[in-house]
């Protein structure tokens, strides 16, 4: 007999339905074959299904069993098909009575004892199930919280094959004579979105560095890129880490986008099923090209995608290999990255704000007021050239972080706390959310040229100021547009509808002159 069960495959960040066909032939030698471009985990599924069925009180009939995962030309990976294959066998062997389950999707990995384990990629599957008008989705119990962010679909948490068997059995009793229980679909759960608090990293612990703190506030409000340069021990790493505590809250749509990426990267857990605050990623400078950008035989998201809607902090920026840094150029501009491999091409979002920290020279004291730099001019130039012009051009806020005089580190000191700054940042971001409603963007940094024209009207004085700055600072067209976006964010922090000349003037302070 033939049974058909619907499951789902994840392709990039999207999901497609997969039909699991199980045929049990009355004639032929006993065998168990799975076809349909499965990977090693799917091949091994046979052994898990065999043991799980036996340990759940069911049988794997000694007949010729063929399983086909359709469409057959799509490569499939992972153990998520264990559950639909086992269920298909139960129906095809008539251990379960025939019933209409064409409006349900089944996902789950089986343990040998028949319990159902957590899998990755459940959120994209749940979104696909809702969009394709399926009514039910059966997921491992440990994936429940991830799946039930999606409404308009019933989510059934499955803890074991036996439980699923009971669910589809006639109501009276199971093979052991116990009353069978139906699985009850879970209710949708409302999410709380929060900002990240931290005792260790709070802006009130940072002494001095007022202009750098202001620049970080602007970066957090508008999602801009920042480069901090200064001598060792000036507080660059400290400030970059503290930035997480002033970021605006994620919106529901943003949280879905980010959680989808983490789901596919298998970085969610039972305790952390949904990403509810902006991600901050800080990969070490020895991270590989693939680790940062994404890739692998079957392309997986890299650090830039894991930092989507959050912050990518690259400490010791010049120490990153040049080809790794250059690979950031396209995603920094487009907000996504397309990775092509033999197995297919996928597009991952990568709209992050880059926060980079660097010393000005190998010894770290070039330009310092108190200590002498011991590097020779060639070494300084070589060090500074490690960061290419095009990358520097993409940085919106260039900040110099001078060393703090030891005298300033002692004594009484009062500084704004992160929660106060976060409130200002949130207000500015809320203004942006209202401005960009219906436009698929959420922050000033994402504006394209058309939106820039629509939302960033400059008065005459500001235009004059910008014109002078272009020639004096040798600004590129990109830098010109980026300065206007920064001015827009500064105006938003000021709760000003119009961009005024003082906003433009402040934005220009963060742009260094480009040497000819
Ligand atoms: N402005 C500051 N206020 C309070 N503490 C500071 C400040 N600057 C530095 N510190 C102290 O110095 C330590 C080192 O600072 P941090 O690691 O941020 O320096 P850095 O600029 O990243 O140096 P490097 O260039 O060597 O990486 C911090 O952990 C903190 O304890
Ligand atoms: Mg540091």
Give the position, in ligand 1's atom list, of the atom nearest the Cα of 240.
Answer: 18
- Rounded Cα–Cα distance for residues 446 and 351 (Å): 8
The answer to whether residue 25 scores a pLDDT higher than 80 is yes
Average pLDDT over residues 62-78: 91
The closest ligand to the CA of 209 turns out to be 1
The answer to whether residue 265 scores a pLDDT higher than 60 is yes
Rounded distance from Cα 243 to ligand 1 centre (Å)? 14
* Ligand 1: residue whose CA is nearest its atom 4: 206
* Token pair for 282: 């800080």
Rounded distance from Cα 206 to ligand 1 centre (Å)? 9
Rounded distance from Cα 237 to ligand 2 centre (Å)? 4
Rounded distance from Cα 78 to ligand 2 centre (Å)? 40
**C-beta 404 within 6 A of ligand 1:** yes
The answer to whether residue 447 scores a pLDDT higher than 90 is yes
Rounded distance from Cα 291 to ligand 2 centre (Å)? 21
Answer yes or no: are the C-beta atoms of 141 and 158 closer than 8 Å: yes
Give the position, in ligand 1's atom list, of the atom nearest the Cα of 208.
Answer: 1
Average pLDDT over residues 193-218: 85
* Ligand 1: residue whose CA is nearest its atom 13: 233
Rounded distance from Cα 231 to ligand 1 centre (Å)? 10
Angle at Cα 317 formed by Cα 381 and Cα 475, nearest 5°?
A: 65
Question: What is the chain's mean pLDDT, rounded?
Answer: 90
Average pLDDT over residues 244-273: 92
**C-beta 360 within 6 A of ligand 1:** no
**C-beta 238 within 6 A of ligand 1:** yes
Q: What is the dihedral of CA 78, 83, 85, 91, to 10 degrees?
A: -170
**C-beta 233 within 6 A of ligand 1:** yes
Rounded distance from Cα 200 to ligand 1 centre (Å)? 13
Q: Which DSSP string corresponds to 282-326? A: ---TT--HHHHHEETTTTEE-HHHHTTTSEEEESSGGGS-HHHHH
Determine the pLDDT at residue 84.
96
Rounded distance from Cα 268 to ligand 2 centre (Å)? 29
The answer to whether residue 448 scores a pLDDT higher than 70 is yes
The answer to whether residue 219 scores a pLDDT higher than 70 is yes
The answer to whether residue 299 scores a pLDDT higher than 70 is yes
**Orientation angle between helical segments 418-435 and 477-493, nearest 10 degrees:** 110
pTM of the model: 0.90
**C-beta 389 within 6 A of ligand 1:** no
Q: Is the peptide bond before 71 cis (omega within 30 degrees of 0)?
A: yes
- Rounded Cα–Cα distance for residues 489 and 117 (Å): 46
* Ligand 1: residue whose CA is nearest its atom 11: 235
Determine the pLDDT at residue 515.
57
* Ligand 1: residue whose CA is nearest its atom 6: 235
Determine the pLDDT at residue 477.
86
**C-beta 207 within 6 A of ligand 1:** yes
| Per-residue model confidence as pLDDT tens digits over 453-465 | 999 988 889 999 9
The closest ligand to the CA of 358 turns out to be 1
SS3 at position 372: coil
| Per-residue model confidence as pLDDT tens digits over 74-123 | 888 888 999 999 999 999 999 999 899 999 999 999 999 999 999 999 99
Determine the pLDDT at residue 413.
76
- Rounded Cα–Cα distance for residues 399 and 305 (Å): 25
Rounded distance from Cα 232 to ligand 2 centre (Å)? 7
**What percent of the chain shows pLDDT beyond 90?**
68
The answer to whether residue 450 scores a pLDDT higher than 60 is yes
Query: What size, in residues, is the chain?
Result: 516
- Rounded Cα–Cα distance for residues 427 and 425 (Å): 5
The closest ligand to the CA of 206 turns out to be 1
Answer yes or no: are the C-beta atoms of 382 and 295 closer than 8 Å: no
The closest ligand to the CA of 233 turns out to be 1
* Token pair for 440: 């698929």
| Per-residue model confidence as pLDDT tens digits over 177-187 | 555 678 999 98
> What residues contact 413, with CB distance under 8 A and at least 6 apart?
207
The residues that bridge with 139 in the sheet, in sequence order, are: 157
**Orientation angle between helical segments 82-92 and 45-55, nearest 10 degrees:** 60
Give the position, in ligand 1's atom list, of the atom nearest the Cα of 206.
Answer: 3
The closest ligand to the CA of 236 turns out to be 1
Determine the pLDDT at residue 259.
95
Rounded distance from Cα 230 to ligand 1 centre (Å)? 10
Rg of the chain's alpha carbons, rounded to an integer?
28
The answer to whether residue 264 scores a pLDDT higher than 70 is yes
User: H or E stretch including 154?
Assistant: strand 154-158
Rounded distance from Cα 236 to ligand 2 centre (Å)? 6
In the chain, helix, strand, coil percent, each to 5? 40, 20, 45
Count of alpha carbons within 13 angstroms of residue 185, beta-carbon side? 15
DSSP H helices in 308-438: 322-326, 329-334, 377-385, 389-394, 406-409, 418-435
* Ligand 1: residue whose CA is nearest its atom 10: 235
| Per-residue model confidence as pLDDT tens digits over 369-408 | 888 889 999 999 999 888 988 999 899 999 999 988 777 7
**C-beta 208 within 6 A of ligand 1:** yes
Rounded distance from Cα 462 to ligand 1 centre (Å)? 37
The answer to whether residue 137 scores a pLDDT higher than 90 is yes
**C-beta 234 within 6 A of ligand 1:** yes
516: pLDDT confidence band, cut at 50, 70 and 90? very low
- Rounded Cα–Cα distance for residues 311 and 219 (Å): 10
Higher pLDDT, 69 or 411: 69
- Rounded Cα–Cα distance for residues 386 and 160 (Å): 55
Determine the pLDDT at residue 180.
64
**C-beta 30 within 6 A of ligand 1:** no
For a mutational test of ligand 1's pocket, the pick from 198, 206, 233, 365, i.e. the residue with the most ligand atoms closer than 8 A to its C-beta, is: 233
173: pLDDT confidence band, cut at 50, 70 and 90? low
């Amino acid at each position: 007999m033939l049974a058909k069960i619907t499951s789902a495959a994840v392709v990039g960040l999207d999901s497609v339905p997969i039909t699991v066909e199980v045929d049990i032939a009355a004639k032929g030698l006993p065998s168990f074959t799975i076809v349909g471009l499965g990977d090693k985990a799917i091949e091994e599924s046979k052994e898990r299904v065999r043991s799980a069925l036996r340990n759940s009180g069911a049988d794997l009939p000694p007949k010729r069993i063929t399983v086909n995962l359709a469409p057959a030309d799509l490569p499939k990976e992972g153990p998520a098909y264990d559950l639909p294959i086992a269920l298909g066998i139960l129906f095809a062997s008539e251990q379960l009575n025939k019933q209409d389950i064409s409006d349900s999707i089944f996902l789950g990995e089986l343990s040998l004892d028949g319990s159902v384990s957590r899998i990755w990629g459940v959120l994209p599957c749940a979104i696909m199930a809702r969009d394709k008008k399926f009514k039910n989705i059966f997921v491992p119990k440990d994936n429940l919280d991830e799946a039930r962010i999606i409404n308009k679909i019933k989510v059934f948490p499955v803890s074991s094959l036996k439980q699923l068997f009971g669910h589809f059995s006639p109501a009276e009793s199971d093979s052991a004579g116990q009353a069978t229980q139906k699985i009850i679909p879970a209710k949708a759960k409302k999410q709380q979105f929060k900002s990240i608090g931290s005792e260790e990293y709070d802006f009130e612990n940072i002494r001095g560095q007022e202009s750098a703190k202001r620049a970080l506030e602007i970066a957090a409000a508008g999602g801009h890129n920042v480069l901090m340069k200064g001598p060792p021990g000036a507080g660059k790493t400290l400030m970059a880490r503290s930035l997480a505590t002033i970021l605006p809250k994620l919106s529901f749509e943003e949280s879905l986008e980010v959680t989808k990426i983490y789901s596919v990267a298998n970085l969610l857990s039972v305790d952390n099923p949904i990403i509810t605050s902006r991600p901050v990623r800080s990969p070490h400078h020895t991270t590989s090209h693939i680790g940062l950008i994404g890739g692998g035989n079957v392309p997986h998201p890299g650090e830039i995608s894991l930092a989507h809607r959050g912050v990518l902090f690259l400490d010791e920026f010049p120490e990153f290999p040049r080809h790794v840094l250059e690979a950031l150029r396209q995603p920094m501009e487009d907000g996504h990255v397309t990775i092509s491999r033999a197995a297919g091409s996928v597009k991952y979002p990568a709209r992050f704000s880059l926060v980079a920290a660097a010393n000005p020279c190998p010894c770290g004291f070039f330009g310092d007021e108190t200590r002498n730099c011991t590097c020779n001019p060639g070494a300084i130039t070589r060090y500074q050239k490690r960061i290419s012009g095009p990358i520097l051009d993409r940085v919106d806020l260039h900040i110099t972080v001078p060393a703090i005089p030891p005298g300033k580190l002692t004594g009484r000191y009062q500084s704004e706390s992160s929660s106060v700054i976060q409130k200002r940042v949130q207000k500015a971001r809320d203004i942006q959310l209202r401005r960009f409603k219906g436009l698929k963007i959420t922050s000033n940094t994402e504006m394209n040229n058309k939106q820039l024209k629509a939302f960033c009207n400059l008065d005459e004085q500001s235009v004059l100021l910008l014109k002078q700055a272009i020639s004096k600072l040798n600004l590129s067209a990109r830098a010109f547009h980026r300065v206007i976006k920064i001015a827009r964010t500064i105006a938003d922090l000021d709760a000003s509808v119009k961009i005024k000349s003082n906003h433009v003037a402040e934005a220009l302070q963060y742009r260094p002159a480009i040497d000819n």
